[in-house]
Amino acid sequence: MNPTKKTTQNNAPEESALLQSLDRENLPKHVAIIMDGNGRWAAQRHLPRIAGHRSGIQSVRKIITFAREIGIKVLTLYAFSNENWNRPAKEITQLMMLLERYLNKELRTMMKNGIRFRALGQIDRLQNSVSQLIRSVEEKTKNNTNMVLVLALSYGGRTEIMDAMKKVYQDLETEKLSIKDLDEQCFSEYLYTKDIPDPDLMIRTSGEIRVSNFLLWQVAYTELYFTKTLWPDFRERDFLLALRDYQGRERRFGLVSREKQD
């Protein structure tokens, strides 16, 4: 296989045509992305895995800029899962260094472009310098309103639900919360995502068809989109293909189709 050849839907229209046909009134408010395939991208080129992650950062930059330009309000990127802690120590260290460098470098761009930064996950598990940097970028960008960029770091959906349950239990015990008030809306307030809307669209790259413990509670009615494109190859056109697919769907939220109503 030629590694430089992109694995993508090649018969699809070009980027400009896709952009033109985009319905700006029907954009997903929140797009979440499982950025997968960095390691395979590197292996295809006989490069170390870190080269794939480094290249993946180019996609991160491009997709954030593009999402903001077209009017996506919340973009969540799955950058480091709880399960990723089991990777070799060297890869974890390299990923943390990339993250630190990325945040230090991008703060100016976030301020210039009105991007608010948020992190989701067990941030205190990250090394001190990284967690402090994250908190400081969150604080500095907190009044920006063009788009929210959410990085899921040291994140696991089941852990998030367990953490929420523990807090609910504490509040029940101390009578800050009454069991009769505990409904879905109330439980959502205990999740890491408490002030972030549920994703409308979730994209996963690299051909894997699963959600891998990402935003388990929040994806109840999310439209899922899978592409074979590896994350370091994922560009504006690939994002537009996902949006086109999303806009072609009818979201029923458990109700009856519009055509079938009588």
SS3 of the chain: CCCCCCCCCCCCCCHHHHHHCCCHHHCCCEEEEECCCHHHHHHHCCCCHHHHHHHHHHHHHHHHHHHHHHCCCEEEEEEEEHHHHHCCHHHHHHHHHHHHHHHHHHHHHHHHHCEEEEEECCHHHCCHHHHHHHHHHHHHCCCCCCEEEEEEEEECHHHHHHHHHHHHHHHHHCCCCCHHHCCHHHHHCCCCCCCCCCCCEEEECCCCCCCCCCCCCCCCCCEEEECCCCHHHCCHHHHHHHHHHHHCCCCCCCCCCHHHCC
39 touches ligand FPP by CB under 6 A = yes
CB 90 to ligand FPP: min, Å: 13
- What residues numbered 51-80 form the site for ligand FPP, per CB under 6 A? 53, 56-57, 60, 77, 79
Identify the residue among 37, 121, 156, 157 touching ligand FPP (CB under 6 A). 37
162 Cα distance to chain centroid: 21
152: β partners: 78, 120
Among candidate residues 36, 233, 238, 245, the one labeled active-site is: 36
Could you tell me which stretch among 5-13, 49-57, 162-170, 245-253 binds ligand FPP (CB under 6 A)? 49-57
28 touches ligand FPP by CB under 6 A = no
Find out whether 78 and 149 touch, Cβ atoms under 8 Å: no
33 touches ligand FPP by CB under 6 A = no
Nearer of residues 151 and 242 to ligand FPP, judged by Cβ: 151
151 touches ligand FPP by CB under 6 A = yes
Site size for ligand FPP (CB under 6 A): 19
Residue 36 annotated among the catalytic residues of the structure: yes
CB 73 to ligand FPP: min, Å: 19
For the chain, what's the residue count?
Answer: 262
Find out whether 205 and 235 touch, Cβ atoms under 8 Å: no
32 touches ligand FPP by CB under 6 A = no
Identify the residue among 33, 63, 74, 99 touching ligand FPP (CB under 6 A). 99
156 touches ligand FPP by CB under 6 A = no
137 touches ligand FPP by CB under 6 A = no
Identify the residue among 40, 68, 204, 237 touching ligand FPP (CB under 6 A). 40
Nearer of residues 18 and 130 to ligand FPP, judged by Cβ: 130
243 touches ligand FPP by CB under 6 A = no
Contact footprint for ligand FPP (CB under 6 A): 35-40, 53, 56-57, 60, 77, 79, 84, 98-99, 102, 151, 206, 231
- Could you list the active site residues? 36, 84
